[in-house]
A and B are shown apart, each in its own frame.
Chain A
Amino acid sequence: MWKWNRGFIAALGAVLISACSTNVSGPIQVRLIQPAAGHCRYNIGPATIQTLTSLSDMQGLMGRVGYFDSSETFVKADLQFGQFGGGTYTPMDYGSLYAASLYYYLESGYLLFKNLPSNAVDMAQEVPSLSSSQIQMETYDLDKDKELVKDNAAYLYDEGQNIFISYPAGDFVNGLPFGMNRGIMIHEYTHFVMRHLVRLKLGTQTKQIPYDTLGALDEGMADYFGFLSTIIPGTPEGEKGDPGYFLCTEDSLDRDLSVAKTVNVGRTSECRNDLADYDCLRIPGSKYFSVHSLGSVFAYANWAQGERVGHFQHAATLVNLMRKIGNGSCGSADNLTFQSIVNCHTGGNYSGTNLGTLQ
């Protein structure tokens, strides 16, 4: 009897020690969904998270992942990770997978900018409050029609607080939820970079920019850096990345970077600010466009140039462009147009699009 008890207590002790160690610091390995070579191809396996300080709180350099509930409170998410034999942590439910994915993808964005071959930018240095960011999973939010917002992601800058948002999944039946698509979350991370390198530098002047040219530039940058995150170095196919990564989540969007796009100067009606308004991809002049649509034209031009010169090298020129716009080297923010942006972009090549003509 005593022997049996001893064995039981020893086994229980081992279990306790093993499971209590879930609250650990990074770098650690967590079983997650990662892009693989090819269009909408994914691997599930160990991914290294570098900057976590607490796995059970999902907190680290990138901020803290939490649940934004219906009382509009940012609360700790109920998470559970399993580990056996000191190896890879495995999310024990959908919520835990979601939370770890959000953190990991945003961290991937941080490392992407930090490891560029030139003009690298360490956003933890630029934004000391980065670790206080909110990373909201399944944010509860109502739109103007009092409908629950679903199937989307966003970045907000609210009174000094950086907030990364992923809304709950809706009814779509194909692909991955927005928060599980690394390209989309790095799209949001790029908005964070643009906020701090450009918009906050320009200050209140941005409100005077006509037709939200800066908004379109923001979306185009975000689409392109999202694409960069899908590149898997090491094989020719992997290095092509997936310019159609948006379609792996929302295939109704005309958001494939590799598809040539131009601005239609014949459009005379107001555009909705969403990509379902396809005709806005061919919108006129500088008056009628949506930021996402015009941004996708900008993203196409940069994807095409990246194909010619190498994407990471080209990405470095875009970071340089951000800094130049932010410090006023591209001209007065009051008069910022795509023509001035194109002219200011050293290393840019916008042939095949008419962005350079947009006044």
Chain B
Amino acid sequence: MKTLVLILLLSFSGLTRTCLGEDTPAAYTPPLMTDSLPRVLSRVDKRRYSRGRSGRSRVAKAPRVRARERVFINRSGYRWGAQFSVLGKKQNTNGGVLGMLPAFGVRGFMDFPIVGNFILQPNIGVLVSSQGVAELRTTQFRLTPGVDLIYSPNPVARTRWQVGVTNKIDFILSQIQAFSDSSAGLGLGYRVGPTTGVAFKTGRDSAFAIDFDCTFDVLNEGRLHFGLSAGIAFWL
């Protein structure tokens, strides 16, 4: 956290350049490497540096880095995002597209690094699907909170790939409308399955993230669902 604060302060003080976009992991980023470091040491500086027992200091020993690597990448690992989502529920009856009943909506998520390259990703989606013929219409509003456990070989890569397991609870409000009457009831689902995704860095702290999952509703005969989400993710 202290490092994060320091990084933010340095960013605001204009000591850094904003040429984010490198594949440099956080661990390799010299924490104090800035353009404001003296290129030519004064005599006082020379004396001070020569007095050290090892003759080394963090500043003096900082390796030179190429300008394009001299960047700040907010590598806290915390990330949030907002995406448009399509959820397809396998259906062999009316109204399907490619054997799926589509639902459309939005999804939000937050990444929490846990151990190594593993990430815990709580997420929530809101989706709507609708089918109807003439005076008859059925509409489902779906609230879908879930938690994904994700592994990414390199979470801070310019092109980040990830794979994991997702599980979601579906709270479904199903509404039936015919002529001037309507009625609605609630249903539940619990879906588990693999997920994968890729994020392409688009700016200093942002990326375009696409996620795909294939889940089975274990409460409803293992019915197959496919989810596809695309949107923007931001590092904190």
Contact = CB atoms under 8 A, between A and B. Distances in A.
A203 B129 CA distance: 50
B29 interface: no
A67 to B, nearest CB: 5
A67 B140 CA distance: 22
Interface of B: 89-95, 101, 129, 131-136, 138, 140, 169, 172, 174, 176-179, 181-190, 217-221, 223
Interface string A210-222: 0000000000000
A18 interface: yes
Interface residues of A, number: 50
B212 to A, nearest CB: 21
B188 A41 contact: no
Secondary structure of the B side of the interface?
strand
A97 B134 contact: no
A250 B221 CA distance: 36
A93 interface: yes
A56 B140 contact: no
B178 A56 contact: no
A180 interface: yes
Interface of A: 12, 15-16, 18-20, 22, 31, 33, 36, 40-45, 56, 67, 69, 75, 77-78, 80-84, 87-95, 97-99, 137-138, 168-169, 172-177, 180
Contacts of A16: 190, 218-219
A199 B29 CA distance: 88
Given A83-B187, A93-B91, 12 more contacts: A12-B190, A15-B169, A31-B176, A56-B220, A78-B92, A91-B176, A92-B172, A93-B101, A95-B91, A95-B94, A169-B134, A180-B136
A15 B187 contact: no
Contacts of A33: 136, 176, 178
Contact of B138 (A15, A94, A172): A94
A20 B217 CA distance: 11
A93 B176 CA distance: 9
Nearest to A87: B185
B134 A172 contact: yes
Closest 9 pairs (CB-CB, A-B): A82-B187, A90-B185, A95-B93, A19-B219, A94-B131, A84-B186, A44-B183, A169-B133, A94-B138
B176 A78 contact: no
